[in-house]
């Protein structure tokens, strides 16, 4: 990638943060029954902890990014990881539903801001033309967490104590802070415009359209991923034990797809790469309804869907950054608010046909529909940009 040693270490520090964030976001799904049993609540009540974290991400991404704009980016990243570490560690010692709900919400607050600021920083650490690869390295931490961190945390939570899962997240947070302190170079202020000027970015219609695209498009992935367990056991005929392995297979696909997406963003424009990625997602989700009945085929296809779905991560992040020119870190953080809203909407809409009596392949159809909607929105953005460019050129020619 042509990075010097300092920058490579700095990117690794960002990836470590991504690993910890990815672990805390997804590990609770595997230990939900253990948490519910320990706190003497129902599993649906324990599911509120997942929603609380997602709500924290949605609220914290723009809020913390705006409030931290006056300080240098490396100090802000350290503060965000300190916050993350403290409240994840406190989560491990939660003794009631209310305490866990509050700590999960507070744990989610720094998520989007860390990734948003980190993405812009990663791009600046890279050589010209290699920003996409640098951002992909940071996101690699999130994807690797699904292959290593989440299964490890789930194992500890299921066989020993669910508290160990969050203590492990806290340890990763401490290691990340040390890496950021020693390896991250001195950087400029997190905001290039100031809070009031940063807020003006929300007047840009295109940014809101990209937010909707992200919610709908990535929601297509979560419509499938949220119901992967019953799909494997009820349709494919696998045992419950195989679900954990399938999650690792999907996570491995995400790791590969993350770097493919970075390459796509370099070859095409970020928005064109998003359109290609979501178009492929439509195809693989539709085919999933046919392949799901084959026990071997579905495991292979789980890797493929994970890979295709995560080719969108770096291009969509770059699309946010470019659309929010002058307030890049705020724009980049909004990606993660939208991503978590996509998580919630995908799970909700994917579950509707099941509630109506359809089989467990139906969420894939819902996911394909949501991804296709994302494609149409992406095409609308590209066409709108071309129209604006032509009008600008005609206006310039007329004035001359």
Q: What is the pLDDT of residues 250-275, one digit of tens each?
A: 899 999 999 999 999 989 999 999 99
pLDDT exceeds 80 at position 240: no
Q: Are 113 and 197 contained in the same domain?
A: no
Q: Are 84 and 233 contained in the same domain?
A: no
Of the pLDDT bands very low, low, confident and very high (cuts 50, 70, 90), residue 80 is: very high
The better pLDDT of the pair 129, 154 is held by: 154
Q: Which of 58, 59, 56, 80 is nearest to 68 (CA)?
A: 80
Q: What percent of the chain has pLDDT over 70?
A: 95
For residue 72, what are the β-bridge partners?
189
Which domain range does residue 143 map to? Answer: 1-190
The better pLDDT of the pair 277, 112 is held by: 277
Q: Are 355 and 342 contained in the same domain?
A: yes
Could you write out the DSSP letters of every residue in 300-326? HHHHHHHHHHGGGHHHHHHHHHHHTTT
Q: Are 277 and 388 contained in the same domain?
A: yes
For 107, residues 6+ apart whose C-beta sits below 8 A from its C-beta are 24, 53, 56, 84, 87, 88, 91
Of the pLDDT bands very low, low, confident and very high (cuts 50, 70, 90), residue 397 is: low
Q: Are 275 and 337 contained in the same domain?
A: yes
Residue 113: C-alpha distances to residues 58, 63, 76, 202 (Å): 10, 8, 9, 16
Provide the pLDDT for residue 178.
97
For 86, residues 6+ apart whose C-beta sits below 8 A from its C-beta are none
Residue 296: C-alpha distances to residues 136, 155, 235, 254, 367 (Å): 30, 25, 12, 19, 22
pLDDT exceeds 60 at position 348: yes
Q: Are 186 and 229 contained in the same domain?
A: no
For residue 189, what are the β-bridge partners?
72
Spatial contact of 109 and 64, defined as CB atoms under 8 Å apart: yes
**Residue in this structure with the two tokens 């990535």, named with its chain if needed:** 218
Q: Are 354 and 234 contained in the same domain?
A: yes
Where is the domain boundary, 190, 215, 244?
Answer: 190
Phi, psi of 72 (to 5 degrees): -65, 145
Average the pLDDT over 181-203 and give the result. 73
Where is the domain boundary, 190, 210, 238?
Answer: 190
Q: Tell me the per-residue pLDDT of 359-374, one tens digit each, with 9 for 90 and over.
A: 889 999 999 999 999 9
Q: Are 181 and 204 contained in the same domain?
A: no
Strand, coil or helix: what is 238? coil
Two tokens at 175? 């290691």
Provide the pLDDT for residue 70.
76
**How many folded domains does the chain comprise?**
2
Of the pLDDT bands very low, low, confident and very high (cuts 50, 70, 90), residue 2 is: very low
CA 366, distance to chain mean position in Å, is: 20
Two tokens at 114? 């860390």
CA 258, distance to chain mean position in Å, is: 11
Which DSSP state fits 189?
Answer: B
Q: Are 231 and 180 contained in the same domain?
A: no
Torsion angle of C-alpha atoms 227, 233, 238, 243, degrees rounded to 10: 40
Phi, psi of 192 (to 5 degrees): -90, -10
Q: Are 97 and 208 contained in the same domain?
A: no
Two tokens at 16? 């470590």
Provide the pLDDT for residue 192.
53
Average the pLDDT over 124-141 and give the result. 85
pLDDT exceeds 50 at position 246: yes
Provide the pLDDT for residue 1.
43
The better pLDDT of the pair 83, 36 is held by: 83
pLDDT exceeds 80 at position 395: no
CATH number at residue 85: 1.20.1250.20
Q: Are 177 and 297 contained in the same domain?
A: no
Where is the domain boundary, 131, 164, 190?
Answer: 190
Could you write out the DSSP letters of every residue in 24-76? HHHHHHHSHHHHHHHHT--HHHHTHHHHHHHHHHHHHHHHHHHHTTTSBHHHH
């Amino acid at each position: 990638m042509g990075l010097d040693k300092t920058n490579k270490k700095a990117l690794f520090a960002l990836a470590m943060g991504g690993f910890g964030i990815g672990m805390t976001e997804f590990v609770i799904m595997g230990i939900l029954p253990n948490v519910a049993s320990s706190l003497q609540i129902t599993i649906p009540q324990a599911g509120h902890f997942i929603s609380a974290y997602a709500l924290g991400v949605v609220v914290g991404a723009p809020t913390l990014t705006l409030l931290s704009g006056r300080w240098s980016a490396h100090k802000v990243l350290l503060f965000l990881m300190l916050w993350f570490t403290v409240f994840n560690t406190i989560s491990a010692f939660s003794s009631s539903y209310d305490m866990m709900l509050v700590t999960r919400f507070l744990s989610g607050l720094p998520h989007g801001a860390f990734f948003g600021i980190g993405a812009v920083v990663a791009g600046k650490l890279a050589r010209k033309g290699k920003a996409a690869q640098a951002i992909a390295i940071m996101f690699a931490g999130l994807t690797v967490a699904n292959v290593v961190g989440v299964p490890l945390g789930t194992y500890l939570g299921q066989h020993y104590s669910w508290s160990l899962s969050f203590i492990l997240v806290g340890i990763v947070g401490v290691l990340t802070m040390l890496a950021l302190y020693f390896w991250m170079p001195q950087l400029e202020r997190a905001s290039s415009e100031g809070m009031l000027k940063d807020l003006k970015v929300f007047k840009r219609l295109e940014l809101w359209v990209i937010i909707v695209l992200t919610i709908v498009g990535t929601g297509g992935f979560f419509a499938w991923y949220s119901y992967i367990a019953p799909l494997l056991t009820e349709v494919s005929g696998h045992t419950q034990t195989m679900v954990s392995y399938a999650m690792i297979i999907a996570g491995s696909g995400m790791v590969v797809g993350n770097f493919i997406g970075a390459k796509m963003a370099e070859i095409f424009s970020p928005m064109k790469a998003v359109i290609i990625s979501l178009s492929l997602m439509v195809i693989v989700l539709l085919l999933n309804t046919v392949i799901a009945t084959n026990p071997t085929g579905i495991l292979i296809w789980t890797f493929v869907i994970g890979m295709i779905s995560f080719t969108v991560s770096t291009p969509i992040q770059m699309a946010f950054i470019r659309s929010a020119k002058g307030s890049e870190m705020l724009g980049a953080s909004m990606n993660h608010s939208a991503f978590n809203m996509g998580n919630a909407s995908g799970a909700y809409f994917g579950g509707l046909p099941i509630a109506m009596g359809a089989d467990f392949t139906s969420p894939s159809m819902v996911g394909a529909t949501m991804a296709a909607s994302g494609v149409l929105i992406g095409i609308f953005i590209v066409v709108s940009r071309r129209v604006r460019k032509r009008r600008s050129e005609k206006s310039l020619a007329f004035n001359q």
